[in-house]
């Protein structure tokens, strides 16, 4: 079932959504491309130098770094969907999502792809160990896991993690409508609704002031809850 | 009482003026084909009800009683609140739809304009 080709890195596309990430974007996309993977950078209407820096990176890896740019900021969910559409258009076999703020280790990429390559799962989510999180994030993420269980009926280790992997088939079935951070829970809903096999692997999370400033805190959590409730009315 | 003119309370006069202005506007929209006869009739009925509540509060009591309220004004407030909530929800859904459409638009523009390097480099 598995041949040599499906193990190569050039059919793996890493979608990196970036909104005002000039401090980290070059390091991350060049780091990923340097490992031999393809990168799809989705510049989500950044107001800083993110796009220009990404273009500079593309000069170094012209055949591995692909850049698309939202003319206005549309949110994490919209950017991820754009990146996944582009990856599918480029005939990716495996599509990963990778946060641009520097919280993920590039060395974790093979870990989340492996269950898919082994044919054990259709989707894999990198779970951040909660014990490593600052208390406020730990609490917010625990609540989100609980809400994900209540709303979408899936018990997961980390519903809000940004490092995910999908087979092309799974990615084409997943239909994301959330624009913002609610997308993380929506991925789980879609995995559940489409009866996809989900694997979870533990990954490293790097906490820096940059990675602290975005993501799931109490306010974002409340917004996600509000969206989840309203989504129940969406037909 | 300062705010009684003849037999009318100030709020009754204001309501009457607003009703006349709104209905005149609705009629104008109907005449210039910007609105349908059905919508116009709906506005007329709504305003007749409101004026009834304002000028003849007594006759609204049985109607309120039908719903378990003691006073016509209570029924009016609750109905008003429910209508506002419904409109707010509908508005939210509309905005959400437009957000989705905008996402699609921005996505399409992004994909069609994937960034290529200039050849001279």
- The Cα A231–Cα A177 span in angstroms is 10
Q: What is the pLDDT of residue B72?
A: 78
Which 8-state DSSP code applies to residue A10? G
Q: Do B102 and A71 touch (CB under 8 A)?
A: no
Give the ranges where chain B is alpha helix by DSSP (H): 10-31, 37-55, 57-66, 72-112
Q: For the segment B53-95, what is each residue's pLDDT rounded down to a tens digit?
A: 888 878 878 888 888 888 878 888 888 899 999 999 999 899 9
Q: Do A85 and B111 touch (CB under 8 A)?
A: yes
Give, to the nearest 10 degrees, the angle between helix A218-231 and helix A183-193: 40
Interacting residues of B78 by C-beta distance below 8 A, sequence separation 6+: B69
Q: What is the pLDDT of residue A216?
A: 60
Q: What is the pLDDT of residue A2?
A: 44
Interacting residues of A210 by C-beta distance below 8 A, sequence separation 6+: A23, A24, A101, A102
Which sequence spans correspond to the domains of chain A? Answer: 5-231
Q: What is the pLDDT of residue A5?
A: 45
Q: What is the pLDDT of residue A214?
A: 62
CA geometry: angle B43, B44, B48, nearest 5 deg: 115
**What is chain B's Cα-based Rg?**
25
Percentages of chain A per state (helix, strand, coil), in multiples of 5: 45, 15, 35
Q: Is A8 exposed, middle or buried (0-12, 13-18, 19+ CB in 10 A)?
A: exposed
Q: Do A177 and B100 touch (CB under 8 A)?
A: yes
Distance from CA of A213 to the nearest CA of B (A): 25
Interacting residues of A100 by C-beta distance below 8 A, sequence separation 6+: A16, A17, A18, A19, A21, A24, A25, A28, A29, A41
Closest chain A residue to B117 measured between Cα atoms?
Answer: A59
Closest chain B residue to A68 measured between Cα atoms?
Answer: B114
Q: Do A78 and B92 touch (CB under 8 A)?
A: no
Average pLDDT over residues B35-42: 88
Does residue A90 belong to the interface with chain B, where contact is any CB pair within 8 Å? no
Does residue A230 belong to the interface with chain B, where contact is any CB pair within 8 Å? yes
Q: What is the pLDDT of residue A211?
A: 62
Q: Who wins on pLDDT, B22 or B61?
A: B22
Q: What is the pLDDT of residue A3?
A: 44
Interface test with A, best of B89, B99, B103, B120 (most A CBs within 10 A): B103
Average pLDDT over residues B15-44: 90
Which 8-state DSSP code applies to residue A62? T
Q: Do A69 and B115 touch (CB under 8 A)?
A: yes
- Tens of pLDDT, residue by residue, chain A (235 residues): 444 444 577 799 999 999 999 999 999 999 999 999 999 999 999 999 999 999 999 999 999 999 999 999 999 999 999 999 999 999 999 999 998 888 888 999 999 999 999 999 999 999 887 777 777 777 878 888 888 888 887 888 888 888 999 999 999 999 888 777 778 888 998 998 999 999 999 888 777 666 666 666 667 777 777 777 776 666 4
- The Cα B53–Cα B56 span in angstroms is 6
Q: What is the pLDDT of residue A218?
A: 66
Which stretch of DSSP H or E encloses residue A18? Answer: strand A12-18
Average pLDDT over residues B13-40: 90
Cα-flanking dihedrals φ and ψ of residue A65, to 5°?
-100, 125
Q: What is the pLDDT of residue B79?
A: 87
CA geometry: angle A77, A82, A84, nearest 5 deg: 95
Cα-flanking dihedrals φ and ψ of residue A44, to 5°?
-95, 65
Considering only CB atoms, A59 lies closest to which of B100, B102, B117, namely B117
Closest chain B residue to A45 measured between Cα atoms?
Answer: B106
Which 8-state DSSP code applies to residue A129? P
Q: Do B111 and A55 touch (CB under 8 A)?
A: no
Q: Are A76 and A166 in contact (CB under 8 A)?
A: no
Name the fold adopted by A5-231: Spore Coat Polysaccharide Biosynthesis Protein SpsA; Chain A (3.90.550)
E strands within A78-193? 94-97, 123-127, 164-167
- The Cα B75–Cα B15 span in angstroms is 18
Q: Are A180 and A124 in contact (CB under 8 A)?
A: no
Considering only CB atoms, B107 lies closest to which of A58, A67, A81, namely A81
Q: What is the pLDDT of residue A59?
A: 95
């Amino acid at each position: 079932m598995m041949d040599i080709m499906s193990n190569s890195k050039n059919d793996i596309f890493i979608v990196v959504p970036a909104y005002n990430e000039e401090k980290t974007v070059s390091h991350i996309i060049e780091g990923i491309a340097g490992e031999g993977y393809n990168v799809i950078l989705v510049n989500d209407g950044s107001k800083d130098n993110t796009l220009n820096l990404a273009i500079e990176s593309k000069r170094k890896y012209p055949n591995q770094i692909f850049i698309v740019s939202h003319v206005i900021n549309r949110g994490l969910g919209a950017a991820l969907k754009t990146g996944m559409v582009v990856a599918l258009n480029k005939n990716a076999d495996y599509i990963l999502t990778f946060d641009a703020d520097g919280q993920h280790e590039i060395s974790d990429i093979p870990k989340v792809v492996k269950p898919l390559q082994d044919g054990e799962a259709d989707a894999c989510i990198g779970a951040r160990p909660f014990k490593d999180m600052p208390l406020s994030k730990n609490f917010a993420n625990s609540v989100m896991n609980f809400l994900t269980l209540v709303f979408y009926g899936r018990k997961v280790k980390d519903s809000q993690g940004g490092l995910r992997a999908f087979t092309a088939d799974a990615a084409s079935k997943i239909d994301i409508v959330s624009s913002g951070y609610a997308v993380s829970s929506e991925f789980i809903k879609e995995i559940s609704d489409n009866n996809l096999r989900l694997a979870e692997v533990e990954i490293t999370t790097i906490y820096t002031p940059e990675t602290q400033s975005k993501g799931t805190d109490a306010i974002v959590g409340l917004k996600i809850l509000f969206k989840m409730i309203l989504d129940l009315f969406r037909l | 009482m300062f705010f009684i003119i003849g037999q009318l309370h100030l709020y009754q006069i204001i309501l009457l003026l607003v009703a006349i202005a709104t209905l005149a506007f609705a009629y104008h929209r109907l005449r210039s084909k910007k609105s349908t006869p059905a919508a116009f009739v709906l506005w007329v009925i709504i305003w007749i009800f409101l004026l009834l509540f304002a000028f003849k509060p007594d006759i609204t009591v049985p109607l309120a009683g039908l719903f378990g309220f003691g006073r016509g004004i209570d029924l009016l407030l609750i109905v008003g609140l429910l209508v506002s909530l419904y409109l707010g929800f509908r508005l939210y859904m509309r905005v959400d739809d437009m957000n989705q459409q905008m996402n699609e638009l921005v996505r399409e523009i992004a994909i069609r304009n994937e960034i290529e390097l200039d050849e001279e480099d």
